[in-house]
Structures are given as structure tokens and as C-alpha cells.
């Protein structure tokens, strides 16, 4: 049985390997900004920003929500917006932890390239 750290790492690594554009010059900006934005602005505000910005921001946020869905935390942004404050806090904590894995694997992939 895999622990949560292994699940996060496996999902994040698959995302980075499958999305070369995310690890390019703009991708580094995306991968660095999203965890910071989640921590400072909150998950809902960061998701709204990513949706409005589009491109790699939206793609990365979609992957974060796919991870949250796989953990039975939230199905999508609309589902998350309807949750209570404790569930939102749980989702934000998990999204931040997962986003940091994406950031680390993205940096490692850029060094390889």
C-alpha cells in the first residue's frame, strides 16, 4: 500500500513527464508561482486566476484538481466552492503539498533538459 507522499510524487512526476511545455521558460514561472499563490491567496482565488490566465497555469491547476479528485477531496472548482471551511482548508493543504511536488519535479526536469 502506498502512502500519500508516494501518491503525490507519482502523480506529479507523471504530469511533468507528460507536459514538456510546463517545464520550459514560462513553465518555471508557473511552477514557482502556483504554490506561493495557494499559500498566500488561497486555493479558490488561485484557481480563479489560473482559469482566467489559461495556458500552462490552467493546465497545471487542472492537474492539481485531478489529484484532489483522486483523493476524494474535491471533484472540481465548483464542488470545492460549495464545501465548508474545514474541507476547503483540507483541499488547500493537499493542493499546496502536491503543487510543491510538481514544482520540485519540474525544476529537476529543467536541469536534465
According to CATH, what is the number of the domain 4-112?
1.10.520.30
Q: Is the overall model pTM greater than 0.75, yes or no?
A: yes
Query: 18 and 107 in contact (C-beta within 8 Å)?
Result: no
Residue 44 pLDDT greater than 90, yes or no? yes
Distance CA(89)–CA(92), nearest Å, equals 5
Q: What is the pLDDT of residues 50-85, one digit of tens each?
A: 999 999 899 999 999 999 999 999 999 999 999 999
Give the start-to-end residue ranges of the domains of the chain.
Answer: 4-112
CA torsion 45→46→51→53, rounded to 10°? 110
Q: Which of 94, 106, 113 is nearest to 43 (CA)?
A: 94
Reference 102, options 40, 48, 39, 27; nearest CA is 27
Amino acid at each position: 500500500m502506498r502512502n500519500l507522499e508516494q501518491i503525490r510524487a507519482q502523480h506529479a512526476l507523471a504530469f511533468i513527464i507528460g507536459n514538456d511545455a510546463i517545464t520550459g521558460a514560462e513553465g518555471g514561472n508557473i511552477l514557482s508561482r502556483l504554490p506561493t499563490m495557494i499559500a498566500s491567496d488561497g486555493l479558490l482565488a488561485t484557481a480563479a486566476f489560473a482559469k482566467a490566465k489559461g495556458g500552462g497555469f490552467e493546465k497545471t491547476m487542472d492537474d492539481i484538481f485531478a489529484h484532489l479528485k483522486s483523493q476524494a477531496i474535491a471533484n472540481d472548482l465548483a464542488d470545492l466552492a460549495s464545501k465548508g471551511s474545514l474541507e476547503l482548508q483540507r483541499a488547500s493543504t493537499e493542493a499546496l503539498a502536491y503543487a510543491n511536488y510538481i514544482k520540485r519535479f519540474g525544476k529537476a526536469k529543467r536541469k536534465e533538459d
